């Protein structure tokens, strides 16, 4: 089995040694003004400290640079990408093709990690991006395990990334969906951009879907937290080289325990047992299997 | 000012394609049975598309075909043959939401123009250039751009730019939404969108309920109506103005296309005049077909609460579609119509058409094709002769101001 890169989103700098100890090999950080939907937004100064700490611990580090940029923001984007270049991260997670265009000019396109949420659902589009020089592509969430394995057969696995743990985003809007609604009903929520406790429940259902609102817009997340213990052996055997664990709606400790559990499963432990243990520790996470076994190609007529 | 700006209309079937062209669309976009979003609106077999292309050509119009799914591994089968067929029957452009399909079209069917779908969320000129480099001949912008951004983007882009001016709006970045996948197993990016964004939701903060029971949270957006920005878009150099709505009726298509056609033509003819009256006339006309509240989307900035739909918004359509004109007899001053809705003698109706201004009249006489008097038209597709106060033409339509 090839070497796997285990990526963790970071919430607390103090957690770095424990993350390293658990088997995490890459730390992914969000930075204020650079990132959206990151587990936490650090200041530029904090980012520099984290980068140095990662280097000392032998961890790689990556920055989330995943805003969609409007026309007048392009000079800001260019300045920030140059700043990122000076920080010398091992990876730059991006969504907007404009970032690729400028990264190419700067000669750092091989550090780019293309993560457009939904657009990477097939091997041909993924291969195209890799052929253009992008370093890595993150697979879309809404594909099945079977489709993931098909893609892994056709594309170099070391350049594929899959989110295996954490809440998966369902929708991304430029609109301030929460504050618009609160304004309509004459209510307020303090410090809205940092609220992680907001969620939606569809009027006829019971599932809780976290919703996040930041300056750049709002995002809605799935009602379950993706957990891949049952699939991790197949995924690891497929050659996919990069597995990401996200903690936007949890914490570093939960990721540490999850990473240890993945190691145990790959070492022969029972996946269901490990999931039961993690569920007992973190019952509010509502662990689920995402789209692995959920093919979403029904029509209205099928659904009826 | 881009005087050659294209008015691009949707069509859910051949009849609506012909309506859109007759009422003034420069181009029509439609979906085939496969590879297209809005699967329920994709009724076109290749033979239908070929007939549509021929029909459009007679009017100097183009046909664009949506190949705008975000494909999974299984979705490429048959695509090359399909693209070659589209090319061979004279389709002008395909609308694509996959970079690899952009490149594929250029190899497999190089006579087809490739228009990059709004599903790709292009919001700046560097993104446009990225897709231009891949082979896109035109880029449809994300609906999240303001007018100022569109203006600047057009000035900095090599590729022609297409923008939406009318119709339904995704509340999320188009193509970046899987609400429908998760909640109904229907893939929004492969034609199955269940519009789960428009459903009602309770909003909580931790264990505290924030939402109001009589006005639940929703992500529904009011529709776009951008008549007041058409002049700005022409001056900005936008290449094409797009109307959303492949599911909409022929009446809707006729009214909306005609309103924008007349506005664009007026602006072309009067580039230095104040367009306020023409814009207002277009808006009034559009309200005769629009059945949902409308706003200007992102064109003036980030939408606020007033631009969302939080309740089951009542229909706001101001007119009912009643009948289509089939023929006109100048000797009798009567028109043969095909009935689509209930109406009766004595009511005030209004006729309009591609070349007929809005013409109110009182329905005084109505008889069937056997010459029997008809007091109430209430049978679908019933044919009647009615009094006509002006020269009516085939495909003119008749409506009535909505009853209170």
Q: Which of A157, A155, A91 is closest to A127 using CA atoms?
A: A155
Closest CA in chain A for residue B98: A125
Share of chain A above pLDDT 90, in %: 93
| B-chain residues near A109 (CB < 8 A) | none
CB-CB: which of A68, A180, A203 is closest to B304? Answer: A180
| B-chain residues near A184 (CB < 8 A) | 215, 305, 308, 310
Q: Average per-residue pLDDT in chain A?
A: 95
Q: Three-state SS for A7?
A: strand
Kindly give the residue spans of alpha helices, DSSP state H, lying in B287-379.
Answer: none
Q: Three-state SS for A265?
A: helix
pLDDT at residue B315 above 80? no
The crossing angle, in degrees rounded to 10, of helices A44-57 and A74-87 is 30
The count of domains in chain A is: 1
Q: Which of B98, B43, B28 is closest to B67 using CA atoms?
A: B98
Query: Are A98 and B153 an interchain contact pair (Cβ–Cβ within 8 Å)?
Result: no
- Tokens (6 digits) for A297: 């190609």
Share of chain B above pLDDT 70, in %: 97
Query: Are A189 and B205 an interchain contact pair (Cβ–Cβ within 8 Å)?
Result: yes
Q: Three-state SS for A67?
A: coil
Q: Does B152 contact A at CB distance below 8 Å?
A: yes
- DSSP letter string over B203-263? EEETTEE-SBTTB-B--EEPEEE-GGGHHHHHHHT-SEEEE--TTS-HHHHHHHHHHHHHH
Considering the domain boundaries, does residue A186 fall inside one? no
Determine the average pLDDT of the residues in B199-212.
96
Residue B290: φ, ψ to 5°: -70, 125
Nearest 5°: the CA angle B249, B192, B247 is 5
Contacts for B145 with CB less than 8 Å, ≥ 6 apart? A70, A71, B123, B153, B163, B298, B299
Q: Does B172 contact A at CB distance below 8 Å?
A: yes
Q: Which of B185, B211, B217, B254 is closest to B398 using CA atoms?
A: B254
The pLDDT tens digits for A200-221 are 999 999 999 999 999 999 999 9
Q: The domain containing residue A77 runs over which residues?
A: 5-168+224-303
**Fold for the domain defined by B319-401:** Elongation Factor Tu (Ef-tu); domain 3 (2.40.30)
Determine the average pLDDT of the residues in A32-38.
96
Q: Does A129 contact B at CB distance below 8 Å?
A: yes
Considering the domain boundaries, does residue A48 fall inside one? yes
Which phi-psi region, left, alpha or beta, contains residue B146 (left: φ > 0; alpha: ψ -120 to 50)?
beta
Considering the domain boundaries, does residue A198 fall inside one? no
Q: Does B378 contact A at CB distance below 8 Å?
A: no
Place of tokens 């920080």: A87
pLDDT at residue A177 above 70? yes
What is the H or E stretch that residue B115 is in? Answer: strand B113-116
Determine the average pLDDT of the residues in A227-252.
97
What's the CATH number where A72 sits? 3.20.20.70
- Tokens (6 digits) for A299: 């029509």
CB-CB: which of B124, B142, B310 is closest to A98? Answer: B124
Sign of CA dihedral A70, A71, A73, A78: positive
Number of CB atoms found within 10 A of residue B213's CB: 8
**pLDDT at site B195:** 87
Query: Are A71 and B145 an interchain contact pair (Cβ–Cβ within 8 Å)?
Result: yes
Query: Are A171 and B298 an interchain contact pair (Cβ–Cβ within 8 Å)?
Result: no
| B-chain residues near A195 (CB < 8 A) | 205
Would you say B116 and B136 are in contact if contact means Cβ atoms under 8 Å apart?
yes
The pTM (predicted TM-score) of the whole model is: 0.95
Would you say B99 and B106 are in contact if contact means Cβ atoms under 8 Å apart?
no
For residues B338 and B395, give the distance between their C-alpha atoms in angstroms, rounded to a whole number: 10
Query: Are B186 and A68 an interchain contact pair (Cβ–Cβ within 8 Å)?
Result: no
Tell me the C-alpha to C-alpha distance, in Å, between residue A96 and each of A101, B67, B211, B345.
9, 22, 34, 60
Which phi-psi region, left, alpha or beta, contains residue A290 (left: φ > 0; alpha: ψ -120 to 50)?
left
Q: Does A298 contact B at CB distance below 8 Å?
A: yes
Q: Where are the beta strands (DSSP E) in chain A?
A: 5-9, 26-31, 41-42, 60-65, 91-94, 112-114, 136-138, 160-173, 198-202, 209-214, 217-226, 242-245, 287-288
Domain ranges for chain B: 6-204+217-309, 319-401
Query: Are A150 and B73 an interchain contact pair (Cβ–Cβ within 8 Å)?
Result: yes
Sign of CA dihedral B116, B122, B126, B130: negative
Distance from CA of A166 to the nearest CA of B (A): 16
Between A and B, how many CB-CB pairs are < 8 A? 226
Would you say A115 and A95 are in contact if contact means Cβ atoms under 8 Å apart?
yes
Determine the average pLDDT of the residues in A179-186.
96
Q: What torsion, rounded to 10 degrees, do the Cα atoms B29, B35, B39, B41 define?
A: 20
Distance from CA of B139 to the nearest CA of A (A): 13
Closest CA in chain A for residue B101: A125
Determine the average pLDDT of the residues in A183-209.
93
pLDDT band for position B38 (cuts 50, 70, 90): low
For residues B259-282, one letter each, b for 16 or more C-beta atoms within 10 angstroms of the residue's C-beta and e for the rest, the string is bbbbbbebbeeeeeeebeebbebb
Superfamily of the domain at B6-204+217-309: Aldolase class I (3.20.20.70)
Q: Which of B264, B266, B258 is closest to B353 using CA atoms?
A: B258
CB-CB: which of A102, A176, A220 is closest to B126? Answer: A102
Query: Are A142 and B156 an interchain contact pair (Cβ–Cβ within 8 Å)?
Result: no
**pLDDT at site B312:** 60
Query: Are A172 and B172 an interchain contact pair (Cβ–Cβ within 8 Å)?
Result: yes
List the single best residue of A127, A171, A303 to mutate versus B (max B Cβ within 10 A). A171
**pLDDT at site A2:** 74
- DSSP letter string over B124-177? SHHHHHHHHHHT-SEEEPPTT--HHHHHHHHHH-SS-EEEEEEE---SSPTTSB
- Chain A window 75-104: which residues touch B at a Cβ cutoff of 8 Å? 96-98, 100-102
For residues A5 and B352, give the distance between their C-alpha atoms in angstroms, rounded to a whole number: 66
Q: Which of B75, B117, B136 is closest to A121 using CA atoms?
A: B75
pLDDT band for position A304 (cuts 50, 70, 90): low
Considering only CA atoms, give the Rg of chain A.
Answer: 19
The pLDDT tens digits for A257-290 are 999 999 999 999 999 999 999 999 999 999 999 9
Query: Are B39 and A299 an interchain contact pair (Cβ–Cβ within 8 Å)?
Result: yes
The residues that bridge with A62 in the sheet, in sequence order, are A28, A91
The residues that bridge with B95 in the sheet, in sequence order, are B66, B115
pLDDT at residue A67 above 60? yes
Would you say B330 and B403 are in contact if contact means Cβ atoms under 8 Å apart?
no
Number of CB atoms found within 10 A of residue A297's CB: 16
CB-CB: which of B149, B171, B211 is closest to A173? Answer: B171
Number of CB atoms found within 10 A of residue A303's CB: 11
Considering the domain boundaries, does residue A192 fall inside one? no
Residue A10: φ, ψ to 5°: -110, 135
For residues A40 and B375, give the distance between their C-alpha atoms in angstroms, rounded to a whole number: 71
pLDDT at residue A110 above 80? yes
**pLDDT at site A296:** 82
Q: Which of B199, B322, B305 is closest to B251 using CA atoms?
A: B322
CB-CB: which of A171, A184, A295 is closest to B305? Answer: A184
């Amino acid at each position: 089995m090839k070497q796997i890169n285990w990526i963790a989103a970071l919430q607390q700098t103090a957690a770095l040694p424990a993350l390293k100890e658990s088997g995490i090999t890459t730390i992914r950080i969000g930075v204020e003004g650079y990132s959206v939907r990151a587990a936490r937004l650090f200041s530029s100064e904090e980012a520099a400290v984290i980068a140095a700490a990662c280097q000392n611990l032998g961890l790689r580090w990556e920055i989330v640079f995943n805003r969609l940029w409007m026309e007048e923001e392009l000079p800001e984007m260019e300045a920030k990408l140059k700043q990122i270049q000076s920080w010398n991260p091992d990876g730059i997670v991006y969504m907007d093709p404009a970032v690729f265009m400028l990264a190419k000019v700067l000669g750092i396109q091989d550090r780019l990690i293309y993560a457009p949420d939904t657009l990477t659902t097939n091997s041909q589009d993924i291969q195209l991006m890799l052929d253009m020089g992008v370093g890595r592509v993150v697979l879309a969430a809404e594909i099945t395990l079977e489709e993931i394995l098909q893609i892994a057969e056709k594309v170099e696995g070391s350049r594929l990334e899959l989110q295996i743990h954490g809440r998966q985003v369902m929708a991304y809007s430029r609109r301030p969906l929460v504050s618009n609604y609160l304004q309509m009903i004459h209510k307020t929520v303090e410090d809205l951009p940092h609220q992680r406790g907001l969620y939606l429940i569809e009027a006829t259902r019971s599932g809780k879907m976290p919703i996040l609102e930041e300056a750049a817009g709002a995002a809605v997340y799935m009602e379950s937290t993706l957990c891949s213990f049952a699939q991790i052996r197949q995924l690891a055997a497929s050659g996919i080289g990069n597995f990401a664990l996200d903690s936007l709606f949890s914490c570093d400790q939960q990721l540490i325990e999850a990473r240890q559990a993945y190691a145990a499963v790959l070492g022969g432990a029972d996946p269901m047992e490990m999931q039961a243990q993690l569920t007992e520790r973190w019952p509010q996470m509502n662990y689920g299997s995402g789209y692995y076994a959920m093919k979403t190609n029904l029509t209205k007529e099928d659904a009826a | 000012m881009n005087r050659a700006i294209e008015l691009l209309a949707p069509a859910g079937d051949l009849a609506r394609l012909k309506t859109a062209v007759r009422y003034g669309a420069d181009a029509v976009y439609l979906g085939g049975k496969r590879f297209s979003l809005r699967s329920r609106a994709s009724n076109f077999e290749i033979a239908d598309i070929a007939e549509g292309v021929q029909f459009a050509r007679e009017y100097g119009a183009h046909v664009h075909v949506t190949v705008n799914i975000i494909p999974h591994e299984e979705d490429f089968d048959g695509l090359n043959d399909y693209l070659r067929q589209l090319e061979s029957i004279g389709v002008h452009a395909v609308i694509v939401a996959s970079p690899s399909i952009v490149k594929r079209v250029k190899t497999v069917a190089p006579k087809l123009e490739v228009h990059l779908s709004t599903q790709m969320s292009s919001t700046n000129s560097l993104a446009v250039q990225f897709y231009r480099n891949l082979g896109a001949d035109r880029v449809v912008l994300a609906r999240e751009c303001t007018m100022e951004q569109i203006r600047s983007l057009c000035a900095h882009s090599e590729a022609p730019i297409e923008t939406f001016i009318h119709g339904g709006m995704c509340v999320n970045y188009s193509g970046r939404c899987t609400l429908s996948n998760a909640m109904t197993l229907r893939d929004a990016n492969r034609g199955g969108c269940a519009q789960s964004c428009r459903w009602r939701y309770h909003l909580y903060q931790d264990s505290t309920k924030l939402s109001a029971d009589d006005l639940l949270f929703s992500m529904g957006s009011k529709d776009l109506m951008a008549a007041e920005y058409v002049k700005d878009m022409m001056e900005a150099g936008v290449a094409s103005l797009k109307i959303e709505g492949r599911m909409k009726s022929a009446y809707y298509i006729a009214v909306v296309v005609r309103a924008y056609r007349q506005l664009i033509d007026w602006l072309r003819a009067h580039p230095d005049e104040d367009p306020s009256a023409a814009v207002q006339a277009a808006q009034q006309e559009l309200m005769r077909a629009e059945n949902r509240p409308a706003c200007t989307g992102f064109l003036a900035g980030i939408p606020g609460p007033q631009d969302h739909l939080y309740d089951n918004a009542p229909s706001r359509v101001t007119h009912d579609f009643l009948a289509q004109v089939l023929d006109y007899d100048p000797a009798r001053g009567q028109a043969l119509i095909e009935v689509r809705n209930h109406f009766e003698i004595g009511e005030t109706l209004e006729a309009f058409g591609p070349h007929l201004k809005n013409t109110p009249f009182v329905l005084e006489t109505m008889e069937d094709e056997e010459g029997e008097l008809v007091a109430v038209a209430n049978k679908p597709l019933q044919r009647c002769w009615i009094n006509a106060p002006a020269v009516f033409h085939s495909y003119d339509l008749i409506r009535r101001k909505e009853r209170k």
